Structure 1
């Protein structure tokens, strides 16, 4: 059931403090809360609720917590536990009086993300764009000049090695078989970890033949467990069937195969080559970012499954920008990895291009590299450095949350800058009036 709408003017309470009295009206978070179209977002998400049942948590509360989590790069536990300590956070989430208890349980945010999916997150990104235009953080003319680039979003998985994956798959199968009441001939609970330890030591000592022997032994253990389960399982539930399929895929894959299995709990993770000395490979997925060429404001973010070619992702990135902004970009600036993009509706300029480049386009083409700084800030200060959300949907949502958090930082900085200018202007006017008053008194 949809959340109940709060009262427009709630009655004052004797022993509770109103947040509009405690909070500074000039605080950027207060100004941000007053500029967001909460009623429009509530109507946008109204179709996600059933017509009957217990009223759900207020939409503004869940959206506010999501914005705070994106802005400060916090986990669900941190944002829920720290909410009761900060009156400005409570004001952003729509509270009238200061609250001393946690607003929701931690799992409420993850369930909310699964409910709204990536399209709901795109609506929040679109709202940050509207607030950015209203606050002056980005100009509407800048939406026609964009820069697009891709980067890797590392997943929260352990570094994959054959020995660890084989032993981990055996352990998961043994645990599931025990739940189903299947008595195995041998579980290798003692010999499996010993083989993993030996393989790691041999690899460290560069004794590759001995290491390969231990890896082969682990494959033997896993194969015996798989065949034992298949013989004794009368009915195979879905969880056990999925785990058996992953184990068989792990046994069959070879060194130079494509679409290899690198993680058992995240089977879609891909190995993406970085080509850099300090980090040759990363395990995760590729994302596409689109920013305005002038301000670096993010107007599009897509989590892509696997490791697609950059040129094949450009059309989808520009289509997303058109849907969110309502304006089709006229010029797009990309690096040389986008050769063969096939986009015709928008002028696309590659880095280092010489033909058909006017002085204005040349200047904007130099600004293309500013998107690298945007990506770097999101990886070091935002959520792109380590994706902890599960599944393909988690990859898409985490990329959008990182974009939302970065845009909110630009908006808060613009609001703080406007406030500083206003204070200096008021101080200057007050000083001039005082000086004029003194001169008038002296002349009299």
Structure 2
């Protein structure tokens, strides 16, 4: 059951501390609490629940989302997060408690359900609201600072002249990166050995009801383990030795799969746990891929599995000096006025240039006008994208297609250097997210929760940027509104 929580943002002085004193208004978590539209999020969050009086009452969205924001900002594990929340009154104030409590507000195991229940779509919507609010404040501030002459409004137009929105305004910066997953570096031999070990546990589970009545299949685990270690412990195995070891493990895996088919005739697959059944399906596809590559003597196959625990993870070719390939989700983002927005998350190796048109259309939906310019890599300068930008009169950074001209206009060269300097903002966002907020190693296990964690990191990064801007203008306005409402109530 979910009941609408009437969220009323209390002032730091209204938060009860049993040991005396009051919360400081300068604390970052107090300031963060004013930057998130909690009431609007509550209204959207409550739509996912059935209005039923039966069952336990769900936690408020402020507590769920607030806990996830704290975790991504500080890098806590689930258990350490609950411990820090229990010890810190500022964290309790941030996600909506009215008084300090010594008991943990929730069990650490519930954080997984928070990530699943909120999901990447809801978290991305909150990030959109925060960026739109910041963009609107900057526009309002620019309009207030613009001098107006008598008979003109704040936009410099005559009061009798109807106002028309600008057709093009602002710059859109696009780029993509890989968010590596927390998996061991995959090799064909290690994957097959891990598959064989998991199949051994499945055979034990299926044979357990028939111990003493039916002979257990001989899966030769010790011999298979010795064959694997003979090559794995070799510092410099030759190609022929590696291929021989892979062939051996393929035969062991195929043998275990045949044993499982025989045991299923006596014990149904419902005897397996959910994880074992999922591993069995993944191993079946893994064996097919490895057998195909072994027979064709190649190392490429469509949708290649590189982790049994996380079968959605794919190999992403990056071509960087540090690592030629990475394993994780490919994340395409846009940067507008220094704020990062999610454009696309793909678990397959895709060309990020296909997201340009969609990103421009979202830009129009967010702000109501087209961008003046798009700053992106050369990979975005496809014929389709250039045709689209020409049609809507949008300048796309970079040189023209074809052979470069011998004589380049000085203004054009100056514009290209300026675009390259401004485009570095998106590289800085990637570096900031990977160094400070965990984008360099995604520890979530499921595809759904991994996407939620990635978007959470962008949301936290945008909150930090808003906090670095002159915040007290907004905070003072909120204080005046709160005191004004209190005075009218009295």
Shorter-chain TM-score range: 0.7 to 0.9
**Map of 1:80 onto structure 2:** 82
Q: 1:306 to 1:122 in 2, by over 3 A?
A: same
In structure 2, list runs of 5 or more residues that go unmatched: 11-15, 144-167, 209-214, 271-276, 401-407, 475-490
Q: 1:417 to 1:33 in 2, by over 3 A?
A: closer
**Map of 1:439 onto structure 2:** none
Comparing 353-362 with 408-417, greater Cα deviation is found at 353-362
Matched, 1:272 2:316: yes
**Map of 1:221 onto structure 2:** 252
Comparing 299-308 with 96-105, greater Cα deviation is found at 299-308
For residues 6-405 of structure 1, what are the structure 2 equivalents within 5 Å? 17=17, 22-52=22-52, 53=54, 54-130=56-132, 132-133=134-135, 144-181=170-207, 184-202=216-234, 204-234=235-265, 235-237=268-270, 239=278, 242-254=281-293, 255-259=298-302, 260-292=304-336, 295-325=337-367, 327-340=369-382, 342-343=384-385, 344=388, 345=392, 347=394, 349-352=396-399, 363-405=418-460
Q: 1:328 to 1:80 in 2, by over 3 A?
A: farther
The Cα of 1:340 is off from its aligned counterpart by 1.8
SS at match of 1:148: strand
The Cα of 1:362 is off from its aligned counterpart by 5.9
**Map of 1:423 onto structure 2:** none
Aligned equivalents of 1:387, 1:225: Cα separation in 2: 33
Aligned equivalents of 2:140, 2:431: Cα separation in 1: 20
Q: What do residues 227-247 of structure 1 show as CA deviations (whole Å, max 9, x unaligned)?
A: 121233224455475145234
Contact 2:5–2:42 (8 Å) recurs in 1: no
SS at match of 1:388: coil
**Map of 2:162 onto structure 1:** none
Q: What do residues 299-343 of structure 1 show as CA deviations (whole Å, max 9, x unaligned)?
A: 334321211112112233344444555554342211012232734
Q: What TM-score, normalized by structure 1, do the two folds share? A: 0.82
Aligned equivalents of 1:32, 1:265: Cα separation in 2: 36
Contact 1:61–1:93 (8 Å) recurs in 2: yes
Aligned equivalents of 1:64, 1:149: Cα separation in 2: 29
Task: Say how many residue pairs are matched.
Answer: 412
Contact 1:290–1:298 (8 Å) recurs in 2: yes
In structure 1, list runs of 5 or more residues that go unmatched: 11-15, 420-444
Q: What TM-score, normalized by structure 2, do the two folds share? A: 0.75
The Cα of 1:122 is off from its aligned counterpart by 1.0
SS at match of 1:217: helix
